[in-house]
Amino acid sequence: MGHTLIGKRFAAACCAVVLVISFGQASGSSAATEQRTLLVLGDSLTWGTAYKGFGNVVPQLQALGTFEKVIVDGVHARNISGPARTSRNGVKTYKEYIKKGMVPDAVIVALGSNDLQQSPKASFYLREIRELLKLIGPRPVVWVNVYRSDSPSYPKRSATFNEALLDATSEFPNLTILDWSTELTANPKWLAFDKLHLQPIGYRARATMYVQAASELWNILVPPPTTAPETTVVETTTTIAG
């Protein structure tokens, strides 16, 4: 991994959602008894992506027939790290999952938008990104990059954050970036009135990208079987002259 995953083109949320969904045995699993868990760790944009009236991503993840358990955890105003209480702190939230024995096999991280308020510096962003990725460890990660335009300084801060995230791929080969920023800037009508959250069409597009990310992660965990070349056995007859 360690590359950028570019997605295909396709009302503010102030709540929290933690959905733990078990789907049963995945089709085509290489280990019939092994249970694989996907964690989607995000902020209010993830809440909207999961909400039935907006993105409704959970049934789409279920339709993949891959991960046996999916945890979609989206909380309003969540940062990557910092002093915020556990529910609004990505690092602390992940530590809680570890304490409960709910360590995922793969992670979609959709955090960073709220961290733009804390600092304009790439070093700050990279420090927080590294803190969470070190905690996640060697598990495959897709991180959704960011774009905000609700303040004059935020487009530049978004670009700085995304550059820091890209820099992190050199240190974390298990990291793939999902390029939400490019998709959103190309489709400004997806934005809600506050220029931070999304219209339903934007959440649906984001849900599609989450599904793409889940497929990418599954193929890393359970590579599709390769078809072995057919072997042709040719019978030979040996005649010994007397």
Burial of 159 (0-12, 13-18, 19+ CB in 10 A): middle
Asked if residue 226 belongs to a domain, the reply is: no
CA–centroid distance for 122 within its chain: 21
What's the pLDDT at 74? Answer: 96
What's the pLDDT at 190? Answer: 97
- CA nearest neighbour of 10 among 200, 183, 210, 216: 183
Q: How many other CB atoms are found less than 10 A from the CB of residue 141?
A: 26
Q: Name the CA radius of gyration of the chain, rounded.
A: 21
What's the pLDDT at 157? Answer: 98
- Tens-digit pLDDT profile for residues 19-75: 665 555 544 444 445 789 999 999 999 999 999 999 999 999 999 999 999 999 999
What's the pLDDT at 4? Answer: 59
What's the pLDDT at 10? Answer: 35
> What stretches of 29-88 show up as alpha helix (H) in DSSP?
44-50, 57-63
- Tens-digit pLDDT profile for residues 154-168: 999 999 999 999 999
In the chain, at which residue ranges do the beta strands (DSSP E only) sit?
4-5, 16-22, 37-42, 69-75, 106-110, 141-144, 175-178
Domain ranges, residue 199: 4-221
What's the pLDDT at 241? Answer: 40
Q: CA distances (Å), 214 to each of 18, 51, 60, 147, in order?
A: 17, 18, 10, 21
Asked if residue 236 belongs to a domain, the reply is: no
Tokens for 45? 């944009």
Burial of 236 (0-12, 13-18, 19+ CB in 10 A): exposed
What is the chain's mean pLDDT, rounded? Answer: 86
What's the pLDDT at 84? Answer: 80
Asked if residue 121 belongs to a domain, the reply is: yes
Q: How many other CB atoms are found less than 10 A from the CB of residue 4?
A: 15
Asked if residue 208 belongs to a domain, the reply is: yes
Give 10-residue mean pLDDT values along the chain (242 residues).
51 52 50 78 97 94 94 96 90 97 98 97 98 98 97 98 98 98 97 95 98 97 72 43 38
CATH of residue 116's domain is 3.40.50.1110
What's the pLDDT at 176? Answer: 98
State how many domains the chain has.
Answer: 1
